Amino acid sequence: MLCSGKLMEMSRAIPLVDLSLFLSDKPADRATFVKELGDSFRHIGFVGVKNHGVDPHLVAGFYAEAERFFSLPAELKEKYEIPGLAGQRGYTSFGKEHAKHSKVADLKEFFQIGQTVASDDPLKSEYPDNVKTVDVPEFALLGDQLYKSFELAGSHLLRAIALYLGLKEDYFEEKILKGNSILRAIHYPPIIQEPSSAIRAEQHEDINLITLLVGASAGGLQVLNLQGEWLEVIPGENEIVVNVGDMLQRLTNNLLISTTHRVVNPPRHLWHVPRLSIPFFLHPRSEMDLTCLPGCVSADNPSHYDPITAGAYLDERLREIGLKK
């Protein structure tokens, strides 16, 4: 069994780190985690995280409610599609979103839950109300709980990244407090006819700082390594897959890499199996300055990006992928 276990670890497409090391009171354990996480983000941009603190029962409950929601008739789901929000809250139907460099829409529908703030909060004007799913009430309710759990796990990971970058541990804290993060439930339906493409979600990079993804209901996620090879990511039980987004790549002047990834169609004998996926896109507040960090700029590695705020960059990218006109 030991040899089998070693073989499984060696065959992983992405490294595995243990968040409990960083949350311990032992400096050596914390330093180990910081280096392992940072090196993973630097060399492949993806990592598996265990002991992340997100309750697996909450995840399972949300998956079950998401399945119920996406099983509703199209006319019921469309009640939750809100015009003018660029898909940032509620339901988005098929054919709306495509990858940045693709004109072909991905084979998916999705539902998004965002940040909530008090009615008198200055940020309220930036954050539309979340959409209540009266036909499947537990769906949105459990989504709110899962959102907060992901938000906490993500904040721990960014504290570690701050240390890896030589910054104060709380560098990201104020920048992500009440940030513009999104929890997205994605449904890839069964394939019922020969698809025009072998891809459920075309190759792309994420927009945000980091993405946290709990294991999907079916396989298909692949990442492109530095050698140009597509590697299938198969997370272990109760493992979260975390990857660098373009905002963090910009901030670090390409030190940490936002890796291209995609979701491929299953083999023909599994076409009848739908796929559910639940990523959490951790965004900062819109005013965060994404200008490259001074410590990541040098004569040998001059700045690759013009200054821009997180809000302006998000707006630019939403237009590129077809969600905003």
Note the pLDDT of residue 13: 86
Residue ranges of the chain with pLDDT lower than 70? 1-11, 96-106, 195-201, 215-218, 321-325
Structure-derived torsion over alpha carbons of residues 153, 157, 163, 168, reported in degrees to the nearest 10: -40
Q: Evaluate whether residue 216 is within a structural domain.
A: yes
What whole-number distance in Å separates Cα of residue 287 and Cα of residue 182? 17
Q: How far apart are the first and last CA of the chain?
A: 55
Q: Evaluate whether residue 4 is within a structural domain.
A: no
Structural domain range at position 80: 53-320
Residue 223: CB atoms within 10 Å: 21
Q: Evaluate whether residue 62 is within a structural domain.
A: yes
Note the pLDDT of residue 175: 98
Note the pLDDT of residue 196: 64
Note the pLDDT of residue 266: 79
Note the pLDDT of residue 143: 96
Q: Evaluate whether residue 23 is within a structural domain.
A: no
Q: Give 265-273 contacts, CB < 8 A, sequence gap 24+.
A: 265/107, 265/191, 265/195, 265/197, 265/198, 265/199, 265/200, 265/220, 266/191, 266/218, 266/219, 266/220, 270/218, 271/190, 271/191, 271/192, 272/190, 272/191, 273/190, 273/218
Q: Evaluate whether residue 38 is within a structural domain.
A: no
Note the pLDDT of residue 272: 80
- pLDDT tens-digit series, residues 136-168: 999 999 999 999 999 999 999 999 999 999 999
Note the pLDDT of residue 4: 31
Note the pLDDT of residue 102: 55
Note the pLDDT of residue 3: 34
Q: Evaluate whether residue 31 is within a structural domain.
A: no
- Domain count of the fold of the chain: 1
Q: Evaluate whether residue 24 is within a structural domain.
A: no
Q: Evaluate whether residue 29 is within a structural domain.
A: no
Q: DSSP secondary structure string, 52-94?
A: ----HHHHHHHHHHHHHHHTS-HHHHGGGB-TTSTTSSEEE-T
- Residue 148 is part of a domain; what is its CATH number? 2.60.120.330
What whole-number distance in Å separates Cα of residue 37 and Cα of residue 35? 6
- pLDDT tens-digit series, residues 65-107: 999 999 999 999 999 999 888 778 999 988 765 555 555 566 7
Note the pLDDT of residue 104: 58
